[in-house]
A = this chain, B = another copy of it.
Amino acid sequence: MNVDAADKLKHRKGIVKIRLTKKDGSPIKDTEITVSQVKHKFLFGCGAFDSLPLANDELGENDKAKIEERFEKFFDIFNYATIPFYWGRFEPEKGKPDTNRLKKASEWLVSKGCLVKGHPLCWHTVTAPWLLDMSNEDILKAQLERINREVSDFKGLVDIWDVINEVVIMPIFDKYDNGITRICKELGRIRLVKEVFNEAKKANPEAILIINDFNTSISYEILIEGCLEAGIPIDAIGIQSHMHQGYWGVEKTLEVLERFSHFNIPLHFTENTLLSGHLMPPEIEDLNDYQIRDWPSTPDGEERQAMEIVQHYKTLFSHPMVESITWWNFCDENAWLGAPAGLLRRDNSCKPSYYELKKLIKDEWWTHPTRLVTSNTGEFEFTGFLGEYELVIDNIKLHFNLDKNSTLIEITV
């Protein structure tokens, strides 16, 4: 594999020299070895809400088999999973958080090789209804305590968090009264962001803390600028792209990338949706307002979805600031709004989009097993996509990480 200057994916690859020595210090020379990629550094993620009933053994036999089969396909391509911490569902009754169930789900996902992200810690939607009975001062206190509790409880298990969701609209959200809109209106957006990020940072200084929004306008840009000027420790900018009303297209995607990359902070595409059925009408402003009985996946729609997903992932993966892409609904079953938003149909069969995505992640962007021979100093040079690798020498298996900064790795066999 080559990395030349014209390579559009050179930011995704690394070159490293590896030196193999025996325990006595002598080089393992002129020896054949095999190097295989086992994991991407890039975070290819997906919503994994189904892990909750599965990992907690809450399913009947049939359902269990179905969800297990689904996750086999999930783990075939994804190394990153988003699980739900919506406050209103996580702690519907004050003081009784769903910590144990979420822990089991996280542990299971981690055991399958995934990094796990918690979504979200602060949001005005699906928030705890009992906040409505409290004063603003107490709501803020409860919000910060909840952040401290979750981030602390899951430390080492969930170290990536969507700390706050949809702040641009938060203080002016007027569909219904809720505690979070109330405190955001009183404090202002930036002060609330500061409070929740500082609390999360305190609870887990190593965590990756994300601000997330569906608003990709100049307002979100200016909000981020304001947050950064206020010294808020934002580790990644989250951008939702639920494209129920149609694929953005390359041009708009590049324009969004251009505008949000100038902060020099990694970009996470946190919630990606492309449909394999008819599109939502353009006049719908809040996607939640479109409620229909049946929203089928169609053959034409599946072809379109497959084509668009390839285009979309290629555009994002080509951009150096993008660090993760999370597909939102893995399967049409239980998909948000009942939309045909999955890579799998309701019966678990794979749509073309699944195969296309797998081809990208595990073939085109994957470093396939490579046989090499060490030099007479025991060295070999290796180029590949960034990530985790297995090195096989004389039936001994070793692991190493290929990172952008790797230059020389010395391995004693």
Q: CA of A92 to CA of B69 in the docked complex: distance in angstroms?
A: 73
**Would you call A229 an interface residue if the criterion is a C-beta within 8 Å of the partner chain's C-beta atoms?**
yes
Residues on the B chain within 8 Å of A227, using CB: 226
Asked if A218 contacts B188 (CB within 8 A), the reply is no
* Min CB–CB distance A394 → chain B (angstroms): 56
Distance in Å: Cβ of A236 to nearest Cβ of chain B = 18
From B188, B194, B217, B226, contact of A223 by CB (8 A): B226
A222 partner residues in chain B, CB cutoff 8 A: 168, 189, 219, 222-223, 226
A101 lies within 8 A of chain B by Cβ: no
Inter-chain CA distance A219–B168, complex, in Å, is 9
Residues 190 to 233 of chain A near chain B (Cβ within 8 Å): 190-191, 194, 217-219, 222-223, 225-227, 229-230
* Docked complex Cα distance between A10 and B39 (Å): 70
A172: CB under 8 A from chain B? yes
Q: Is the CB of B190 within 8 A of A229?
A: yes
| A227 to B: closest C-beta gap in Å | 8
Residues of B within 8 A of A168 (CB): 218, 222
CA distance A331 to B218 in the complex (A): 36
- B-facing residues in A121-149 (Cβ within 8 Å): none
> A225 to chain B: which residues have CB within 8 Å?
188-190, 226
- Closest beta carbon of chain B to A134's beta carbon, Å: 22
Q: Chain B residue with minimal CB distance to A188?
A: B225
CB closest chain-B residue, reference A232 = B229
* Complex CA distance for A194 and B225, rounded to whole angstroms: 13
Chain B: minimal CB distance from A383 (Å): 35
**Which residues of B lie under 8 Å from residue A190 when comparing CB positions?**
225-226, 229
Q: Which residues from 260 to 312 on chain A have a C-beta closer than 8 Å to any C-beta of chain B? A: none
Query: What distance in Å separates the Cβ of A196 from its nearest Cβ neighbour in chain B?
Result: 15
Q: In the complex, what's the smallest C-beta–C-beta distance from A364 to chain B, in angstroms?
A: 35
CB proximity of A255 to chain B, nearest CB, Å: 11
Tell me the bound Cα distance from A45 to B245 in angstroms: 48
Question: CA A230 – CA B189 in complex, angstroms?
Answer: 13
Interface centre among A168, A194, A218 (most CB of B within 10 A): A218
Considering only residues 173-190 of chain A, those with a C-beta below 8 Å from chain B are 188-190
User: A99 CB to closest chain B CB, in angstroms?
Assistant: 34
Residues of chain B within 8 A of A217, CB atoms compared: 219
Find A172's partner among B218, B223, B229, B230 (CB 8 Å cutoff): B218
Contact between A230 and B226 (Cβ–Cβ < 8 Å)?
yes
Would A191 and B229 be within 8 Å (CB), given that A217-B219, A218-B168 are in contact? yes
A188: chain B residues at CB < 8 Å are: 225, 229
Residue of B nearest to A167 (CB): B222
Cα–Cα distance between A190 and B221 once the two chains are bound (Å): 11
Interchain residue pairs with CB less than 8 A apart (18): A168-B218, A188-B229, A189-B222, A190-B225, A190-B226, A190-B229, A191-B229, A194-B229, A217-B219, A218-B219, A219-B222, A222-B223, A223-B226, A226-B226, A226-B227, A226-B229, A226-B230, A229-B230
Query: Which 7 A/B pairs are nearest by Cβ-Cβ distance?
Result: A226-B226, A219-B219, A229-B230, A190-B229, A222-B222, A222-B223, A218-B219
